[in-house]
Chains A and B, each alone.
Chain A
């Protein structure tokens, strides 16, 4: 579903991503974890070309994004949803308008827009908040609106950049529940960047661990814990199975 082929990215002299090879399978929930500055957010942002790679190819949904014209890229992005740590809702639009705008951008048939918006808001449990503005919502509710917005165009992929990092533990669990539900109900491939091990363990099928712009390891997560896929150092797997986040490790 998502293939990164020898992708590199530098910011001025700092090499954030060093020739990464990564395949994310259709229908999985894939976690990307790592310490601050490891390049995990950059890696995610390469998947919809919010960051343009210096080298390498990015393929999503069978399309090589790196080869598309800007118009084709805009089209391709409409089937790649994205949510953010700080939600990034338009503060001057109502909840309804925030979701509707993504349908407007995709030229979704006008007559069906209202019912589609309400359907998405219902899915995230906010159907009674249509006329509210983001400032009137809690963090968790804002993220639900962002999810509804990302969901409106029936994306194949949902990219989540630290989706729960500004939320409290209860709200985090709720949002992860919503994401899990999206994966189960619609088969949407989800990629989640997080620095919290708990988040990854509770929802992901597979995890990629990043360190200093490289993939340290990719592991399968079983219900009972984490199994090693590649033959990487033992201590690292132990760390993965421990509670707590990698920032402190």
Chain B
């Protein structure tokens, strides 16, 4: 292993750990909240089972607003909110708040798009069999859209990694922050390149896993 990596090994592992925490929490937020929000966006559309213009418009606007923020500004803008929830606006835990917010908005849009690919006829078959809304979602929609949902999550996770790299501004740490502070600001270009390589490998692994899983579960 190159000397410089050995020299900074502990810091590098610590920053990888922080990246994993930030991205991990984002993934959880995406699944636990982004998935339901995206499902609701889909179901409240015109002609769908829960058609509701008001709910749809509000959610749609909210998702659009969050997604139109330059992420750095969103982080700064959310500082009071972060302080309210975590008690501080600084550190890895605090960094997970804006990341989760963008994660929810990002993934919910991809969920909505995946669900739109489910043939309308399948929904009709479900309704004609007397399925409830819950049954339509879990026994039909998610089953039929599952490969799209996995691919969407893969795309989202890769975006979360990218978003997490700027969390240094609020002391969130992580690989990106490490690369900037040590590699860029301390002129250790070599170290920066190694960090970029780590990120590239990480993204490749995630994309490969996502693509493989989505292909395996796609029987269409």
Contact = CB atoms under 8 A, between A and B. Distances in A.
Contacts of B140: 90, 101
A82 interface: yes
Interface residues of B, number: 22
A74 B143 CA distance: 21
B118 to A, nearest CB: 9
Contact of B125 (A74, A75, A84, A133): A84
A50 B144 contact: no
B2 interface: no
Contacts of A77: 127-130
Contacts of A90: 122, 125, 140, 143-144
B113 to A, nearest CB: 17
A232 interface: no
Contacts of A159: 128
Nearest to B119: A88
Contacts of B122: 88-91
A61 B101 CA distance: 51
Interface in B136-168: 139-140, 143-144, 146-147
A74 B124 contact: no
Given A105-B135, A105-B139, A91 B144 contact: yes
B9 interface: no
A133 B217 CA distance: 12
B129 to A, nearest CB: 5
Interface in A60-82: 73-78, 80-82
A88 B121 contact: yes
B129 A91 contact: no
A74 B126 CA distance: 10
Contacts of B219: 91-93, 133-135
Contact of A88 (B124, B131, B139, B218): B124
Contacts, number: 73
A90 B121 CA distance: 10
A101 B146 contact: no
Nearest to A132: B219
B164 to A, nearest CB: 32
Contacts of B217: 92
B147 to A, nearest CB: 8
A150 to B, nearest CB: 8
Given A50-B124, A91-B144, A93-B143, A105 B220 contact: no
A116 interface: no
B128 A105 contact: no
Given A92-B144, A92-B220, A105-B139, A78 B121 contact: no
A104 interface: yes
Q: Which of B129, B144, B217, B219 has the most CB of A within 10 A?
A: B129
Contacts of A42: none
Interface string B93-137: 000000000000000000000000001011011011111100100
A73 B130 CA distance: 7
A104 B130 contact: no
Interface in A87-118: 87-93, 101-102, 104-106
A134 B122 CA distance: 13
Given A50-B124, A84-B121, A86-B121, A92 B143 contact: yes
B129 A92 contact: no
Interface of A: 48, 50, 73-78, 80-82, 84, 86-93, 101-102, 104-106, 133-135, 146, 149, 159
7 contacts: A50-B127, A88-B121, A88-B122, A91-B122, A91-B144, A106-B130, A135-B219
4 interchain residue pairs of minimum CB distance? A77-B130, A88-B121, A88-B125, A91-B220
